[in-house]
Amino acid sequence: MSVEVKSKTRSDKKRDIKPTIAIQLYEAVSRLSYITDTPIKDVSVTICKRGLYAHPVLEYLSDYFRRDYWANNQTLYTGELENEKYQTKKGITKRRITMRFTQRDYDQLARLAYALDLTISSATGLLLELALKNTDVFHSLVAMHINKELDPGRMKQLREIIKYINRHNPYETISFGHVVTMIMEDIKDHTVTMTESVKQWIDEHTSK
């Protein structure tokens, strides 16, 4: 007698989400990938995961929630069917980006999409854009994930990302100087040069 054995689903199996995003957003994420020396698929996932729990991002999105959304066990955003549905931009050049999420993160994105009355793909693309433009998310990504010296090429790409972020930013305008200040704010010894301070900050935080 033969017995059929069903294969178990891996608990760490990841789910693909492939949103089509504006080419300018894709280029900004690509630059961040270069600056941090991290694959673009990993950078984009990190941005989205941080955006899922960034208060300014969720506050902005809450105006478009058409159904209730539990951000976590303690925070509920009330949705209204009468709320305006978020409309993606029309007539712009777009490019597909591939991201892979754990089942847990995928489920949270699905809940967000349901609250926004969007597809998971569209909601993820929207989250990627809004999260990248959030000051805290951007600063933490640049500061905590850089593992190479800030050479002229990377500094140039950093400035280009800041230009993109400040274009139609729903939160606040940020400057290159502001970013450097954020990176250096934990440095207590100001007798060293700025370059040395930035390197010291990076060494301290990437070694944790």
82, 69 in Cβ contact below 8 A? no
pLDDT digits (tens, 9 = 90+) for 111-151: 999 999 999 999 999 999 999 998 888 877 776 555 455 67
Higher-pLDDT residue of 3, 127 = 127
pLDDT at 182: 62
pLDDT at 186: 47
Query: Is residue 20 scored above 90 in pLDDT?
Result: yes
Query: Is residue 26 scored above 60 in pLDDT?
Result: yes
Higher-pLDDT residue of 78, 136 = 78
Please give the average per-residue pLDDT across 179-196, as a whole number: 54
Tokens of 96: 């597909």
pTM for this prediction:
0.74
143, 202 in Cβ contact below 8 A? yes
Query: Is residue 185 scored above 50 in pLDDT?
Result: yes
Mean pLDDT of the chain: 81
d(CA 127, CA 56): 12
pLDDT at 140: 76
Kind and range of the H or E element at 27?
A: helix 23-36
pLDDT at 85: 92
d(CA 14, CA 12): 6
Q: Which residues contact 92 (CB under 8 A, 6 or more apart)?
A: 22, 23
Band of the pLDDT at 40, cuts 50, 70, 90?
A: very high
Query: Is residue 160 scored above 90 in pLDDT?
Result: no
Please give the average per-residue pLDDT across 148-160, as a whole number: 74
Give all strands (DSSP E) within the chain, no chain letters: 14-17, 20-22, 69-70, 76-77, 94-96, 99-102
